[in-house]
Structure 1
Amino acid sequence: MNIVEYADTVWRGEAPDSIVHVGLAGQGFVEVVDGVGFRSGFGNVIALRQGGEVTLFDTGNPFDADRLHADLRAWTDEPVSTAIYSHGHIDHVSGVGPLDTEAEAAGRPRPMVVGHEAITARFERYVLTAGYNAVINRRQFQAPDLTWPTEYRYPDVTYRDELTAGHVELFHAKGETDDASVGWIPSRRILLPGDLFIWVTPNCGNPQKAQRYPREWAIALRRMATLRPEIMLPGHGAPIFGADRVEQALTETAEWLESMVERTLGMLNEGARLDDIVRAVQPPAHLAERPYLRPHYDEPEFVVRNIWRLYGGWYDGNPARLKPAPDVELASAIAELAGGAEKLADAALRALAGGDQRLAGHLAEMAVQAAPDDAALHRVRAEVYATRAESEASLMSKGVFTWAAEESRRTAGEL
């Protein structure tokens, strides 16, 4: 496969390749230029062969470590001396084990693992919240058997601001995470942005995950653009070839983030409630059709909520929600006013038929909270959320709504 021609089809929007659609999975390492291999997957891996040794930038996900090792050895037999983590998410840090085993069997030193100093705290948090992370990732990715790891290959070398490791210059950035490393190969003019570019709108509002940093993310993207890279190999999705295209992708993604931050903070500073800000703030219309800025994973309104959380705390401006009644008590009171939980379910179906899926969700949820053992009400809830899932563009919304529909189908005895 000609990787340059393939990347061109993705750039033109003719083929999907992103964190949501993995276009080249199963192809192994494809050589983008002499001595630089690119392996597509859920968590891309970049290999730099130089001076008789290999430097890896990212190491893939926990379900793919053995296959990654086999693919690497099909591409080169040179030893891996350095493995760099772009950040601490498990789809980027989980493939070192077979490389360690190989090195020990050959009597060589294990690869030196390099990452930002904040990765250690991330791994420690993952151990503390392993159960929660298992649940939310099952929900997000519809993977009912997913388990969350509690053992990690920690970095051997960490840094705070900048470091050169294995012919790759690194600098720290905050964006999707607080522990990101951007890689730069100056001799090849190749940029390795990790998950700061993933061919969809920035993953900056994920409703089930830890804090994101949109303003700092934009700053990092503009810093990358000043390097004038000729090739960008992202953490997810296809490469981008050509300095002008790379610069456009970076600066327009920065502009998208800057617009969301500026408008959200403007309304926050005026004292607006979160609900009003979520309805009012939209990303720049002239960027809506860019193949790398489509909301297929995260969504603009989630980004707004994340910006509020970062700068404004958790109180949303509605005094009723400062110390609210328990959901079940509120649902029971509303059901009583409506004439029963069945009336709420009927209203949910009318709202759904009328195209108001958001209102339908509220009403269906209240109906089953007021009568949690009623199979008929759960069937209504399942219908509402299944319909919502079908109509959503983003993987996150689809995941949550599909999970909710299946919850009610199980309660109703249909699964």
Structure 2
Amino acid sequence: MPNADLLHHNEIQFRKSIVELAPGMWTAVGYAASTQHVIEGASSLTVVDTSESTGAAKNVLDEIRKRTGKPVGRIVYTHSHRDHISGAAIFAEGRVCPVIANAKFKSDLVGQDGNKIAPHKALNRRTAAQFGIGLSPEERISLGCGPGDRPMEGLGGGFLPPTQFMEDDQDIDLDGVRARLIMAPGETEDHMAVWLEEAGVLIPGDNWYHAFPNLYAIRGTPYRDFAAWADSLELLEQLGAAVLAPGHTMPVFGKDKVREVLSTTRRAILHVMRHTAEGMDKGQSMDDIVSELRLPDDIASKPWLGEFYGRASWSARAFASGTLGWYDGNPTTLGTLSSAERARHMADLAGGVEALTAAARSTIDPQWRLELCDHLIALGEPVELLKAETMETIAEDEINATARNTYLWHARRLRGGETNR
């Protein structure tokens, strides 16, 4: 049985619905990994973020058409992640439609430098694992940021490149609705919030959602600037919004509640930064820094800081490597052993490969069993099924959806199952 808190998070935060934010303003939740926001103007609509697929975008547009028949006059991207920009063509409905984005907009859907060298196969593999691509609906119950069961038709296929770029904060007319576009770097450098002051509605993109922030994505990402993210949350909090419509999960209503979720999330980020920096200054290992990391008591139990998507321990490791690089200050790590060499030494200490295998099978610590299995696999021992069984057991208790998906995805691979990658 999957983690009860994760199931509750999924049930509440990704329930398929069109939520009214204010008269003539709606958010679509549960139709895609991300949310889509629609603002009704005098004779046209503005769509903020467009989902990850043409299939999802079509479903949202069909629902919006039950409320208004006005055409989409412009599209705004809060940032460049694929799940926010890939359904735009559906909303444009064949018309030439202005697409507004931050001047720092940069997406892998846009042509990249031909000289760029990157581990694309590794990224694709890890992305598939994080989001559970190829798992059954029962296995992939959630993405952490959205429902596990969603349309995949036209994934990445409806992207329209931006036609208008914003260098700085700017007031803009959305066909009679005043809005301010605010540069707010956080999950990405190119984040842009949409502030509808008269309605009290704030669309922050992915700078806030109902989960511990994904300060580091296990699929693999460049360093996300923790300090800039915290600063943006403070800036957004000071706006005094009455409604917060995030890039994932349900909207938040009420000035006090909006202020609370933004301020406590900012505090959580700062706490991870401070705790990690202090541990590094003391010369602690990253394992010890992570093992001692706890959020302050007064915010630790806040439901919107549950580790459904991001995780504090992953964030601490990312902050350390993002600020000082991979070297942890311990000269031992300046050298290296291959996986097979290390495994051979471990087997020798255990009294041989058979003894190491027995230890892996008898330990009650699942994390230790995984580590011992890795040593045995490096030695060519057939313990793949033991590792798969262990990951499946861990996954059932896992509150973090991306960790759950990753455990199950790799377990399926070890069992020889199809993962589409």
TM, length-normalised to structure 2: 0.83
Aligned residue for 2:140? none
Q: Is the 8 A contact 1:341 1:371 kept in 2?
A: no
Write out per-residue CA displacement over residues 133-186 of structure 1, whole angstroms, 9 at most, x where no aligned residue. 432222012112989748842211112331334332111222222211111001
Structure 2 CA distance for aligned equivalents of residues 162 and 234 of structure 1 = 19
Unpaired runs of 5+ residues, structure 1, are 1-12, 104-109
1:91 to 83, 100, 114: 83
Structure-1 residue corresponding to 2:162: 155
Work out which of the residue numbers 95, 98, 113 in structure 2 matches 1:112.
Answer: 98
**Equivalent residue of 1:301, what SS?**
helix
Q: Which runs of no fewer than 5 residues in structure 2 stay unpaired?
A: 136-151
How far residue 213 of structure 1 moved from its aligned partner, in angstroms, is 2.1
C-alpha displacement at 1:113, in angstroms? 0.9
Matched-pair contact (CA < 8 Å) for 2:40–2:46: yes
**Residue 61 of structure 1: how far off its partner (Å):** 1.6
| Cα distance in 2, alignment partners of residues 332 and 236 from structure 1 | 46
Deviations 1:227-269 (A, max 9, x none): 1111111111111111111111111111111111112122223
Please state how far the C-alpha of 1:280 moved relative to its aligned partner.
2.3
Q: Which amino acid aligns with 2:71?
A: P
Task: Identify the residue that residue 386 of structure 1 maps to in structure 2.
Answer: 392
CA positional deviation for 1:122: 5.1
Change (3 A) 1:242 1:292: same
SS for the counterpart of 2:66 is helix
Structure 2 counterpart of 1:368 = 377
Q: Say what the alpha-carbon RMSD is for the aligned residues.
A: 2.7
Classify the secondary structure of the residue corresponding to 2:39: strand
1:144 to 134, 137, 140: 134
Q: Secondary structure at the match of 2:74?
A: strand
**Distance of 1:130 and 1:79 partners within structure 2:** 38
How far off is 1:272 after superposition?
A: 3.0
- Give 1:183's aligned amino acid: V
Assess if the C-alpha contact under 8 Å between 2:101 and 2:164 holds in 1: yes
Q: 1:73 to 1:144 in 2, by over 3 A?
A: same
| Cα deviation code 1:311-368 (max 9, x no counterpart) | 11112334343342221332234234434434323212222x2xx2221111011111
1:93 to 1:133, Cα distance in 2 relative to 1, 3 A: farther
Question: How many angstroms does 1:394 deviate by?
Answer: 0.8
Alpha carbons 1:215, 1:258 under 8 Å: kept: yes
Query: What code does the residue aligned with 1:326 have?
Result: S
CA distance in 2, matches of 1:284, 1:122: 37
Matched, 1:201 2:212: yes
1:248 aligns with one of 238, 260, 263: 260
Comparing both chains, which one has the higher relative contact order based on Cα–Cα distances under 8 Å and sequence gaps of 6 or more? 2
| Counterparts of 1:369 and 1:126, CA distance in 2 | 37
Greater CA drift, 68-77 or 129-138:
129-138
Matching residue's letter, 2:184: A
Deviation at 1:85, TM superposition (A): 1.0
Structure 1 segment 204-223 matched on structure 2, within 5 A: 204-210=215-221, 211-223=223-235
Task: Name the structure with the higher helix share.
Answer: 1
Q: Which residue of 1 aligns with 2:188?
A: 177
Structure 1 residues 92 and 319: CA distance shift in structure 2, 3 A: same
